[in-house]
Structure 1
C-alpha cells in the first residue's frame, strides 16, 4: 500500500491569494488556520493576520481582488482572525484539495512568498500537483518530502536515534522539574558519548519544534539568516 508523505513547498505571492495585501503591508504575517474548498473556483480559509493595525489590515485586505466576504472573527493585541473567500489566484490550492486529495496542514505568507506544508496520500498525488504547476505556468517549489512509514519517529520528522534518545530521556525523568537524571547517565544508558547525546537531543528538539510550529515561520527566518 502506498504511504502518505508530507511536503514542504513555496509559492510566490503573485501566484497566490492576498498578493496585494502582502505587498502593501510591511512585516505582516498571514497564517492559515484551515482551508476548505468553497465551490469550484474558490477556497474559504480561516486566517490569522499579524503585525499590522486593524484599520490597515482591513483596508489592504478589502482592496485585494483575490478576496471576498471578509469577516472578522476575533481581535487581539496585534493579530486578527478572519474568515474570507479566496476567489482568484487559488488554482494551485484547489488542485491540491480536489485532484490530488491533499490536506494543507500549514500555510504561511510573508515577504512576498507563501510557505506550505501539505499532506499527500501518496507520491502519485504529489506528482499531479507538480504536473499541474508545469502545465499552467505556476510555481510549486518543493523544498522537502518526508515519507510517512507508520513509525513514530517518521511521523514527527525524527530519526530513529533521535526518537530513542527523547523517549529514553522522558522515561528517565530528564524533563521533570527537578530533573531525575542527567545527560551523563542517559549517555551511558544509550551507550553513546555525552556530546553525541547532547547533539542528538538538541537536533530532536529542533525537529519537533519545526514540525509542530508553523513551517513558514521557520523557513522565512532561515531565509533571512
Structure 2
C-alpha cells in the first residue's frame, strides 16, 4: 500500500545550506522535483524574502546547486529552476532506489520538511536504512497509508470528512450560502461549537496536506 511520509532533515545534510546561511529569513518551497534521463535532480523552487542579486551571489558558492535560472517573479516570490548535485544524496535515493515521489519540500532556518509519496510501505525502510548507513538525519514525523476510504487518503478523521461532505452537498460553501452553521449542525446532530471546531480542524488538515505546513498538528479523533 502506498504511503505518504512527512519528515525533516537539516539543510547541512540536504540542500542549499550555504545559500541559506548567508540569506537570513528566507523561505524555500519546492514546487516540483524532476529527475532527468541523466539522473540529474532538477527542482522548481520558490524563494521568498530576498532579491535576485542576493540570491545569485549566495547560490554561486553553494556546492549543492548549479545552473540557477530565474523563471518568474511575483511580488516577493521568485521561481527558480536549478540542478541539485550529488550532494543531495537523500533525494537521489528517494527518487531512484525507493522509487518515491517528492510531493513538496519546504526549507527555512536551516531545516527542510519533505512530504514524500512511497509506492509501498516497505520502500520507506530503504530510505531510513540509507540515512543510517550514510550518517544522515531524516526524522519522520508522520506516515499515513493511502487507505481506500477518502478520509484516510486526505488525513481527515471520519467525522471531519463527513462534516465536509454534508456541508458541500447542502451548499454551505456556496456564495451565498444555502445553509447556515446552525442548520448544518442540526443536520449532523452536533452542537454549533462542535461543528465549528470540526470544520476548522478539517480545513487545517487539508491545507497542511496540500501546502506543506511544517508545524505539528493533533490528529486525534474529533
Do the structures match in fold with TM over 0.5?
Answer: yes
Is 1:70 the counterpart of 2:68? The answer is yes
Larger mean Cα displacement after TM superposition, 159-168 or 190-199? 190-199
Q: How does 1:47-196 map to 2 (within 5 A)?
A: 47-196=45-194
Name the CA distance, whole Å, in 1 between partners of 2:165 and 2:206.
13
**Contact in 1 for aligned 2:86/2:92 (Cα 8 Å):** no
**Cα offset, 1:81, TM superposition:** 1.4
SS in 1 for 2:177: coil
- Partner of residue 44, structure 2: 46
Deviation by residue 1:85-121 (Cα, 9 ceiling, x = unmatched) = 1114211001100111100001111100011000011
- Partner of residue 219, structure 1: 214
Name the CA distance, whole Å, in 2 between partners of 1:180 and 1:33.
36
**Cα offset, 1:39, TM superposition:** 6.2
Name the CA distance, whole Å, in 1 between partners of 2:215 and 2:160.
25
Could you tell me which runs of 5 or more consecutive residues in structure 1 were left unpaired when the two chains were aligned: none
TM-score, normalised with respect to structure 2: 0.92
Deviation by residue 1:184-214 (Cα, 9 ceiling, x = unmatched) = 222222222222222111111111111121x
* Runs (4+) off by over 6 Å: none
TM-score, normalised with respect to structure 1: 0.91
Could you tell me which runs of 5 or more consecutive residues in structure 2 were left unpaired when the two chains were aligned: 218-222
C-alpha distance 76-174 of structure 1, shift in aligned 2 (>3 A): closer
Aligned residues: 217
Query: CA RMSD for the aligned pairs?
Result: 1.7
Name the CA distance, whole Å, in 1 between partners of 2:3 and 2:91.
17
Name the CA distance, whole Å, in 2 between partners of 1:87 and 1:81.
19
